[in-house]
Amino acid sequence: MISTARHLLSTLTVFAFVLGSSAAAQEADLAKQLSNPIASLVSVPFQFNYDGGFGPDDGDRVTLNIQPVIPITLNEDWNLISRTIVPVIWQNDVAGRSGDQFGLGDTVQSLFLSPKAPGPGGVIWGVGPVFLLPTGTDPLLGGEKWGAGPTGVALKQSGPWTYGVLANQIWSFAGEGDRDDVNATFLQPFVSYTTPDAWTFALNTETTYDWEHEAWSVPVNFTVSKLVKFGDQPVSLQAGVRYWAESPEGGAEGVGFRTSVTFLFPKT
């Protein structure tokens, strides 16, 4: 009887260990998928950013980027990945004594046509159009221009590592005639490392070159995130810092901060 009980206890212990290891592996896999901008995974990030040093009066800005990512299956070989960035902004004295503004900024909508299977060498890629939508609710929150151009991403995932680059080019084609035209190149090289217990350490830049004004914006971001579960709901919690290595005249300077909460909806 005692031998049977011991055997049952050992079996349950092994079973619990296997289940725990399997759950940890699933969480690490989800965390790694988040490092892929065009993963076949529905996610809804809420990203909070703080930046300061704007203009002659050291203005500051808080931005909440709402960034849903929705993969759409086209057929057995191809996905269409929708990535939307809707900024909600509060800012103060970003253009001298300009006071406070609160509302929506301009929306950026990207669509990536991406093969479901990685290409030669394990490269994951996607290409498509990007659109700039003048959703700003205040002249100081948006450019009041419609824009469009190409976008693309290429990356590789090897073991715990993910590295690649995302890029786009936007030209304005319509909008308010008294506002500056948009001609901007965006480059986002990135690298991240995901641990077996679903911690992710990431480094990237979100570099923009403004061809109209011949000016660079180069924030360098370092973030740490952890995938957790609230009940059955997987959520990624992230915090990090950024340093403005280069910014246009009157732009952000020094150190900024970022936190985010991302809700994941994996296929069941």
Q: How confident is the model at residue 14 (pLDDT cuts 50, 70, 90)?
A: very low
How much is the average pLDDT of 41-55? 96
How much is the average pLDDT of 32-40? 92
pLDDT > 90? residue 142 = yes
Neighbour count for residue 1 (Cβ, 10 Å): 5
- Give whole-number Cα distances, 245 to 65, 95, 99, 208, in Å: 22, 20, 26, 12
pTM of the entire structure?
0.88
pLDDT > 70? residue 21 = no
The answer to whether 104 and 91 have CB atoms below 8 angstroms apart is no
Predicted pLDDT at 17: 45
Highest mean pLDDT (candidates 85-89, 97-101, 249-253): 85-89
pLDDT > 80? residue 118 = yes
pLDDT tens figures, 160-178: 999 999 999 999 999 999 9
**Domains by residue range for the chain, with CATH:** 2-265 (2.40.160.40)
pLDDT > 80? residue 152 = yes
Q: d(Cα 242, Cα 254) in Å, to the nearest integer?
A: 8
Beta-carbon contacts of 111 under 8 Å, excluding residues fewer than 6 positions away, are 80, 81, 82, 83, 128, 129, 130, 151
Q: Which residues of 142-153 are buried (b: 16+ CB within 10 A; e: fewer)?
A: bbbbbbbbebbb
Q: d(Cα 187, Cα 47) in Å, to the nearest integer?
A: 19
